[in-house]
Amino acid sequence: MIIRADTSLYGVFGNPISHSLSPLMLNRAFAETGVNSVYLAFGVDDIGAAISGVRALGIKGVSITIPHKTTVLEFLDKIDETARKIGAVNTVVNRKGLLIGYNTDSSGAVRALKEKTALKGSDVVIIGAGGAARAIGYGIVAEGGRITILNRTIAKGERLAKDLGANFKPLAEIKNLDGRILINTTSVGMTPRVDAMPIKSDLIEKEILVMDIVYNPLKTRLLKTAEDAGCRIIDGVSMFVYQGAFQFELWTGKKAPVEAMKKTVLAAL
């Protein structure tokens, strides 16, 4: 691609940002579809000032990541209904100067799940009660799934369960899983502590679908254990790629080249 005066700029705002795979993935998507745009990573501390920069420079869209997904809301002109319910934005679209916030973590997770199973009427167990659990949980509820939240910290888990209309159980007290779908939204199992698992392995029985949002390593101990038990698994790259694909589609109006995006991410891991 040749960078010209009319090349559009996109980016990601977060801190830390140097390990983000989003620039590789989104630039591949632009190259693949012939969209004359570039996507850069910005280490941002002051999200308000960075959003002013988007307006001043005419940046066409940005991804928002840790720690700005909640604080960014007050600086935008409009928030999509799902993102407002979740209380977090991971995508900003600049529509002729109007900055609109969306949440594609939610739709990305739902797409990764629906590729493997129906969600309507399904019992889903979510481990964790942070921002990722909230986004994924809202997506599943909107699809008609029933959720049980398992969390280490009781007050935090109970709060999310109440907001989602879900059940809650303390993580430490789990004797059996009340669901056919299990999702880990905590960082347990992530490099370098790859031997860690968010729940005991004997809780994982055959015929459960197990998803992990951790993608480094690609096959976490949880996913390995699940596979050994005969379960189907969804790795963290699926959700990551789909949330990026939905961003690309919101920004360009074109269908995202999902396979190419996934290949790029897998090659980088």
3-class state of residue 228 by DSSP: helix
Q: Is the distance from CB of 81 to CB of 29 less than 8 angstroms?
A: no
Classify residue 42 by its DSSP letter: E
180 binds ligand ATR (CB under 6 A): no
Q: Is the distance from CB of 201 to CB of 173 less than 8 angstroms?
A: no
Beta strands in 34-106 (DSSP E): 37-43, 61-64, 78-79, 91-95, 98-102
Measured CA angle at 229 (ends 226, 232), to 5 deg: 50
Could you tell me the smallest distance in angstroms from the CB atom of residue 183 to ligand ATR? 12
Could you tell me the smallest distance in angstroms from the CB atom of residue 71 to ligand ATR? 13
Q: Is the distance from CB of 8 to CB of 36 less than 8 angstroms?
A: yes
- Pairwise CA distance, residues 234 & 237, whole Å: 8
29, 188, 223, 256: residue in contact with ligand ATR (rule CB under 6 A): 188
185, 243, 247, 252: residue in contact with ligand ATR (rule CB under 6 A): 185
> For ligand ATR, what does the binding mask look like between residues 195 and 214, x meaning CB under 6 A?
---x----------------
Q: How many residues bind ligand ATR (CB under 6 A)?
A: 15
Could you tell me the smallest distance in angstroms from the CB atom of residue 69 to ligand ATR? 8
43 binds ligand ATR (CB under 6 A): no
Q: Known catalytic residues?
A: 69
Binding to ligand ATR (CB under 6 A) within 123-152 occurs at 128-133, 151-152
Interface with ligand ATR (CB under 6 A): 128-133, 151-153, 156, 185-188, 198
